[in-house]
Chain A
Amino acid sequence: MKQYVIIGNGVAAAGCIEGIRSLDTESGITVVSEEKHEVYCRPLISYYLQGKTDLSRMLYRGEGFYEKMNCRVLFGRKAVKLLPDVKKVILDDGTELPYTDLLVAAGSSPFVPPFEGLCTVKNKYGFMTIDDALALEQGLTKDSRVLIMGAGLIGLKCAEGILDRVSEVTVCDLADRVLSSILDEECASLMQKHLEAHGMKFLLGDTAVRFEENKAYMKSGKTVDFDVLILAVGVRANAALVKDAGGDVNRGILVDSTMRTSLPHVYAAGDCAEGPDSSIGKQRVLAILPNAYFQGNTAGVNMAGGSASLDKAIPMNSIGFFGLHAMTAGTYEGELYEEKTENSIKRLFTKDGELKGFILIGCDERAGIYTSLIREKTPLSTVNFELLKNHATTAAFSSETRRKKFGGVV
């Protein structure tokens, strides 16, 4: 019998639980959950504010998940020390949890730069957890003027979620464009116009340098009056537990494709982990939900004595605002193939005879066929790329490949 301990209770933890239980239905699993909530869909907090989901539907695996998986969950507890030599985790209330195999899936925390005068702002919120969203909901009125720091995925989804509930939403970012981590200039500009048409305001290439209660003094010299401030500047991996125990940490906890850290019997997964990104052939934190599940599940299978390896992890995002979807994957280098209309952009990037990445805005049909070409590193010489450029279709594969894909169990 083993004794599994999981630090964290997000999607990586759920993936780990399901991975363990696919092989080991007997051994005990203890989950240490800082948040006092059952595992929920973190990216849905903006949809909650938008009225598109509710707390019950946001439960990732529905009611009764832990009972079904035979797990013990310690809600409201935090792991403060890892002792890998004696295979124990110490919690904030002094509890010692012995483990045979440990997963650290501690997620990430908002990074808040030391803005001058930030402490004078009364109504300020982060936007990472359901409790953040519930607190923000309480702080909003239909007359609120909201300033959001950060035009990335979190800041903009938050902006979309609250736009119809408040008087005004202004988003600022030091970057010169929206969604700068996933969109190039022209694609960002198309998305920004769409967001502006729905009423969002932007201050780009600009950031607050000082706050005085309800006023932000910007780098550009402008001032912004606001009632509610939302901080969505960025996140940092929660890697301290492993780092303090002597494990290898870079931007995140370093893991190989089996999710093993440098410490024996310690695994890491999700936003706190830095694993192989096959699109660049290097380690990288891929803080996206699918990757959290893939990594957690891989770790779980291995913790239970199986052999799983995550070899095809790549950055990929599907993010929509008011009906316009942007899908991105891989890296944007190499030769560019492009199609544009007034409301859509398709950009495919090829290099070394492979599809390396894409940006699709407003033209997402069957995009997974493109994604699979990147993940599988399919040589474009084996497909009809002329047909594929035009639209994502499996008809571009050879009849032999199609027979494999569609003729049997996959």
Chain B
Amino acid sequence: MKRVYVNEEWCLGCHLCEYNCAFANSGMPDMVLALKGKPIFPRIHIEEGEKITYAVSCRHCEDPICVKSCIAGALSKEDGVIRIDQNKCVSCFTCVLVCPYGALAPNKNGVMQKCELCLRNASGEPACVKGCPNRAIVYEERGEAV
């Protein structure tokens, strides 16, 4: 299955992926209207260490601990994609407590959200990948951990 991967040596730390993600999931037709002057709640985030930056979004784990731990039955795996039913989520934050990647965070209303690969929004393919100026983020099929 295709997933989003980041080549950290190519990441510039420009945070454009965060803006593209927030826009793609805003449901709005215009990026300026969607984002300008507002706090953004992207489903991908840039991690910064010493001399290193890289983007992190859901790994769509083979054995997803978030799905197994969700107290509301709101997280599920469909065709390999980990999805959240925001209508069922009660914002207990158990998924935040267990995700080893820090890939879940609340939206502006406090309801959990996560990367669902833009498969069901207007972008249709991961907007973070499409907009990455240095092609650090890629959407591809990879085998077992290399």
Contact = CB atoms under 8 A, between A and B. Distances in A.
Interface of A: 15, 41, 43-44, 47, 52-53, 57-62, 289-290, 293-294, 297, 316-320, 323, 325, 327, 329, 364-369, 371-372, 384, 387, 392-396, 399, 402-410
A403 B146 contact: yes
Q: Is the interface of B mostly helix, strand, loop or mixed?
A: loop
B59 A387 contact: no
Contacts of A52: 90
Contacts of B52: 395, 399
Considering residues A47, A52, A406, which has the most beta carbons from chain B within 10 angstroms of its beta carbon? Answer: A406
Contacts of A399: 8, 52
Nearest to A62: B73
Contacts of A364: 93, 96-97
A297 B145 CA distance: 25
B68 A15 contact: yes
Contact of A406 (B6, B91, B95, B104): B6
Contact of A371 (B8, B62, B97, B105): B97
A366 B96 contact: yes
A371 B100 contact: yes
8 contacts: A44-B71, A316-B97, A368-B98, A368-B101, A406-B5, A408-B143, A408-B145, A410-B145
B68 A44 contact: no
Interface of B: 3, 5-6, 8, 47-50, 52, 54, 56, 59, 61-62, 65, 68-69, 71-73, 87-88, 90-102, 104-105, 110, 142-146
A290 B54 CA distance: 30
B139 to A, nearest CB: 14
B145 A409 contact: yes
A174 B69 CA distance: 31
B101 A394 contact: yes
A60 B73 contact: yes
**Nearest 8 Cβ contacts at the A-B interface:** A395-B49, A366-B102, A408-B145, A372-B100, A290-B69, A368-B99, A60-B73, A318-B97
Contacts of A384: 49-50
A15 B92 CA distance: 20
A329 B97 contact: yes
A323 B93 CA distance: 11
B98 to A, nearest CB: 5
B98 A316 contact: yes
Contacts of B101: 368-369, 394, 405-406
Given A371-B100, A393-B102, A402-B8, A409 B144 contact: yes
B68 A293 contact: yes
